Amino acid sequence: MTDTQALSRQSPLVQALAHGLQGRIVLPSDADYDDLRKPWLQVVDQHPALIVEAASVADIVAAVNFARTERLVLAVMSTGHGIAAPCDNGLLLHLSKMKQISVDVARRVAQVLPGVTSDELLAATQPHGLVYAAGQVSGVGVIGYTLGGGMGWLVRKLGAASWAVLGANVVLANGSVVHASADTNPDLFWALRGGGGNFGVVVSLEMALEPIPAVVGGELYYPLDQAADLLRFYREWSSGLPDETSTIFRLLAIPPDDSSPPEIRGKTNCMIGLCHSDTESADAVLEPLYRFRKPLLNTVKRQTVLDLAGLDLASHSPGSPTYGQVEFLKALSDDVIDGLVQLAQTRIPPLMQIEVQQLGGALVHGATEQGAFTPSAAPYLLHLVTPAIKAPMAEIAKATQEAFASLGDAYTGEAYYNFLRGDEQQRVTGAFGDTKYGRLREIKSRFDPANSFHLNLNIEPASLSTTVRAEIFGTKAAENS
């Protein structure tokens, strides 16, 4: 194993790796090491021995081979929105500079490289009236989001983003570059569509686009004291909506500064967000909503999915460590509604955002076998997320656990891969169910037998030996396996 302390710009190993790289190597002594090592969502504090900022597929192959031969742990980061485990003393493969996008308008297909973010892809497709099933926040990486499933503003219309994947080029743990599609390496193709970054480095992803030139969407804000009535209204209204409409309900604190409109500034508010993809029928969807209550603020209008994803008034600023947890709700029962209102009123912990995302629609109607992503039949997803600004992380974590516990047995117990925290490894099975998880482990055994890609929400190879397991996870874990 390489002595990582000894790595410097002059060391022969680093010089050999640097030779031929189109990108660059960044070492702890470099000025921008700190900027590059930090994920966008600062939930881990990692100190890699070296960072390879890749500019080409050959760079990625070189980095993967270097990590393997020098027995360094290897981690993959694109935007840093979903880092599950720190890369300490290892090689951090940074992909954010690889941003090429090509759009074949006639075929309605896009190909993206690993550094492409959601807003960048939409900006390239939207002028042609085309979209992909983007997430609710614009800066998330398209590939990372899609590999974990990808449920966003169009989830009830299009299902998961992973369903639209047509093919991928992947650098495997042994340094080879393979293609995965329905015809070539079909098992790998199946695993990539939901199984996250467990199977290799995806160096390009091809995905089908949908013709949705514009949507009617936006957010409606209401005072907190209407929360109980609004949630009951939301339950009835949302349950009758067509698949074209995706909705969310939030209870959220808006910062007191002038970054948000004065009507909602500095207060905890209720918010109903919607995205209706058939602009012709939007009036019928909106009419009951407008009839029910007059909002404090209404941003609903005809706009593009790109603009809608950039709208998020509550989005966290980069750099703020955040604690989040997600559970699938069996129903939006009266007990759940009362519990959520209570949580919002007591504001414990401060700044906690309570989000209910409506599921169903295409997730249920269109859910044939489309890769490893396993759609839940639950009607709603409950997401509690709190930036650690006004209270320490440990306090927020405890309060979040208590908040979930206060709603009793309201949950189905399933998990959503994209929203699991790094300390929820034991729930990865719950994102797939036993059968699919077993298949994922078999496929992992074939494509990454030594679990080189383990600094993630890990799917362990079925065949991982006790020796390799001990090297990665420590002797205790290996003995307990």
80 binds ligand FAD (CB under 6 A): yes
Q: Say which residue the tokens 């031969």 belong to.
A: 69
Which lies closer to ligand FAD via its Cβ, residue 145 or residue 249? 145
Q: Return the range that interacts with ligand FAD (CB under 6 A); candidates 125-133, 139-147, 244-252, 393-401.
A: 139-147
418 binds ligand FAD (CB under 6 A): yes
Q: How many of the chain's residues bind ligand FAD (CB under 6 A)?
A: 33
Site for ligand FAD in 119-138 (CB under 6 A): 135-137
Q: What DSSP letter does each residue of 188-247 carry, written as one string? A: HHHHHTTSGGGS-EEEEEEEE-EE---EEEEEEEEEGGGHHHHHHHHHHHHHT--TTEEE
CB atoms within 10 A of CB 15: 12
**Residue 51 · residue 34 · CB < 8 Å:** no
Tell me how many degrees the CA angle 312-455-24 measures, rounded to the nearest 5.
80
Which lies closer to ligand FAD via its Cβ, residue 223 or residue 255? 255
* Least distance from ligand FAD to the Cβ atom of residue 208, Å: 18
Which lies closer to ligand FAD via its Cβ, residue 149 or residue 167? 149
* Least distance from ligand FAD to the Cβ atom of residue 426, Å: 18
Site for ligand FAD in 312-341 (CB under 6 A): 316
Q: Return the range that interacts with ligand FAD (CB under 6 A); candidates 21-29, 147-155, 293-301, 365-373.
A: 147-155
Comparing C-alpha atoms, which of 169, 161, 206 is closest to residue 188? 169
Q: Return the range that interacts with ligand FAD (CB under 6 A); candidates 149-157, 207-215, 217-225, 231-239.
A: 149-157
Q: Return the range that interacts with ligand FAD (CB under 6 A); candidates 81-89, 226-234, 428-436, 442-450.
A: 81-89
Token pair for 455: 């600094």
82 binds ligand FAD (CB under 6 A): yes
Candidates 23, 86, 90, 148: give the one binding ligand FAD (CB under 6 A): 148
Token pair for 260: 């948000």
Candidates 7, 26, 41, 67: give the one binding ligand FAD (CB under 6 A): 41
Burial class (CB in 10 A: 0-12, 13-18, 19+), 279: middle
Alpha-carbon distance values, 330 to 243, 254, 272, 334, 358 (Å): 19, 29, 20, 12, 12
Candidates 26, 49, 77, 396: give the one binding ligand FAD (CB under 6 A): 77
**Residue 229 · residue 334 · CB < 8 Å:** no
* Least distance from ligand FAD to the Cβ atom of residue 290, Å: 26
**Residue 299 · residue 286 · CB < 8 Å:** no
Candidates 51, 122, 140, 415: give the one binding ligand FAD (CB under 6 A): 140
Candidates 78, 185, 374, 386: give the one binding ligand FAD (CB under 6 A): 78
Q: How far apart are CA 412 and CA 327, in angstroms?
A: 8
DSSP classification of residue 383: E
Q: Which amino acid appears at position 64 of this protein?
A: V
Q: How far apart are CA 216 and CA 207, in angstroms?
A: 24
Candidates 23, 39, 167, 430: give the one binding ligand FAD (CB under 6 A): 39
152 binds ligand FAD (CB under 6 A): yes
361 binds ligand FAD (CB under 6 A): no
Candidates 456, 458, 460, 473: give the one binding ligand FAD (CB under 6 A): 456
Which lies closer to ligand FAD via its Cβ, residue 125 or residue 246? 246
Q: How far apart are CA 393 and CA 385, in angstroms?
A: 12
* Least distance from ligand FAD to the Cβ atom of residue 439, Å: 19
Candidates 14, 151, 188, 248: give the one binding ligand FAD (CB under 6 A): 151
Site for ligand FAD in 429-448 (CB under 6 A): none
83 binds ligand FAD (CB under 6 A): yes
Q: Is 410 helix (H, G, I), strand (E, B) or coil?
A: coil
Q: How far apart are CA 186 and CA 418, in angstroms?
A: 22
Q: How far apart are CA 401 and CA 49, in angstroms?
A: 35
Residues that bind ligand FAD (CB under 6 A): 39, 41, 76-83, 95, 114, 135-137, 140-141, 143-145, 147-152, 196-197, 201-202, 316, 418, 456
